[in-house]
Amino acid sequence: MERYLDLMLLRFGLVAGGIVVLALVAFAVAVTLKRRGGLDRARRYADPAVRAAARAAARRLEGDSSRSRRGDGRR
């Protein structure tokens, strides 16, 4: 049992460390883009994709809620 708990703690540490590293990399990229003036350009390029993803998510949520109101349970 102790070995299992040690492995779970090790796994948690690795996952948490990976998330911290990814956050630091994203922060470094954002700072670099801001210093070079590319953050506004990147924002302009990403804006249509973000809007399309938000519309798709809204349609998906609307579809799920209408199915749950009908109560037929089909997906």
Q: State which residues form the domain around 32.
A: 2-69
Q: How far apart are CA 35 and CA 21, in angstroms?
A: 21
**Assigned domain for 19 exists:** yes
3-state SS assignment for residue 72: coil
Structure letter (DSSP) for residue 55: H
* pLDDT bucket at 70, cuts 50 / 70 / 90: low
- What is the percent of the chain where pLDDT is above 90? 55
In the chain, DSSP finds a helix count (H) and a strand count (E) of 2, 0
**Assigned domain for 15 exists:** yes
Please report the pLDDT score of residue 45 as a whole number: 86
**Assigned domain for 75 exists:** no
**Assigned domain for 59 exists:** yes
Indicate the number of domains in the chain. 1
**Assigned domain for 11 exists:** yes
Q: Per-residue pLDDT for 74 more than 60?
A: no
**Assigned domain for 60 exists:** yes
**Assigned domain for 58 exists:** yes
Tokens of 31: 């700072």
Specify the pTM. Answer: 0.53
**Assigned domain for 50 exists:** yes
Tokens of 58: 């809204």
Encode pLDDT of 11-40 as tens digits. Answer: 999 999 999 999 999 999 989 888 888 878
Q: How far is CA 29 from the centre of its chain?
A: 17
